[in-house]
Amino acid sequence: MKTNQSILKTVLICVVIVLALSCKKSVDAPPAPITWNYSTFTDARDGKTYKYIKIGSQEWMAENLAFTTNGGSWNSNDSQSDGVKFGRLYTWNAAIQAVPAGWHLPSDTEWKQLEMTLGMSQADADGINSRGTNEGSKLKATSGWGNEVNGLNDVGFNALPGGIRSNSGSFFALDWYGYWWTATDDGNSKAWLRYLIFESSKVFRTLSSKDDAYSVRCVKN
């Protein structure tokens, strides 16, 4: 009888352990990726279809612009496959002209509106360089970033690191940094932009030469 009780006790202990491990696994499991209900539009100029999504009161493209301008834009590393994944890189003047009908290059203020929708304070939004807390992670795609330091894509923006083409013609930072022009300049040779970097969860704001080339996201009119 004691032997049977011992066996039963051992079995019950094993069952409890298995259930506990099963519960822990369920608790620790990462949340399932969000499936976004994107809208789409087709650029009549080249037939390319883009996804877009509403964030707060704004409607943002959820992909980088890929329209080929007559000068002033390039695929990252002059690679067609990189252009398919990351879109094209534009000088500021080319970016202003490249947007499709019904859309526009977002102003610095419109970028701030997006950031504050994500939780950034007005004071941080008005700052320069590294700003906010985790708004950058909310914008980054859940894959495609260097060292697999990916984002949360909390609002469907799906930001990817397309890198930069400097005004000297050099490409760099692909897979590591993502840069996006705003329509707001300083009245001279520079304009405001936003950028995200793989090792930070923040959003960076700075001025850059209009002759450098960066990615473009458009906002619906």
What pLDDT, in 10s, does the model give residues 130-174?
A: 999 999 999 999 999 999 899 999 999 999 999 999 999 999 999
**Contact, 76 vs 149, CB < 8 A?**
no
- Indicate if 25 and 70 belong to the same structural domain: no
C-alpha dihedral (208, 213, 219, 221), degrees to nearest 10: 90
- Indicate if 124 and 151 belong to the same structural domain: yes
Rg of the chain's alpha carbons, rounded to an integer? Answer: 23
Average pLDDT of span 21-28 = 46
Give the number of residues written for the chain: 221
- Indicate if 52 and 9 belong to the same structural domain: no
- Indicate if 74 and 7 belong to the same structural domain: no
- Indicate if 25 and 49 belong to the same structural domain: no
Average pLDDT, the chain: 90
Average pLDDT of span 195-202 = 97
In this predicted structure, what is the pLDDT of residue 1? 52
Is the pLDDT confidence value at 34 over 60?
yes
- Indicate if 23 and 45 belong to the same structural domain: no
- Indicate if 173 and 208 belong to the same structural domain: yes
Domain total in the chain: 2
Question: How far, in Å, CA of 199 to CA of 176, rounded?
Answer: 8
- Indicate if 80 and 183 belong to the same structural domain: yes
Is the pLDDT confidence value at 13 over 80?
no
Q: Domain limits at 144?
A: 39-220
- Indicate if 144 and 175 belong to the same structural domain: yes
CA-CA distances (angstroms) from residue 5 to 32, 114, 196? Answer: 43, 65, 62
Query: CA neighbours within 13 Å on the CB side: how many for 6?
Result: 3
Q: Which residues contact 58 (CB under 8 A, 6 or more apart)?
A: 110, 113, 114, 117, 219, 220
Q: Which residues contact 138 (CB under 8 A, 6 or more apart)?
A: 118, 119, 151, 152, 153, 154, 155, 157
Question: How far, in Å, CA of 177 to CA of 140, rounded?
Answer: 11
- Indicate if 153 and 100 belong to the same structural domain: yes
- Indicate if 22 and 79 belong to the same structural domain: no
Is the pLDDT confidence value at 33 over 80?
no
Average pLDDT of span 87-115 = 98
Question: How far, in Å, CA of 177 to CA of 118, rounded?
Answer: 20
- Indicate if 17 and 99 belong to the same structural domain: no
Cα angle: 71, vertex 100, 186; to 5 degrees: 65
In this predicted structure, what is the pLDDT of residue 23? 46
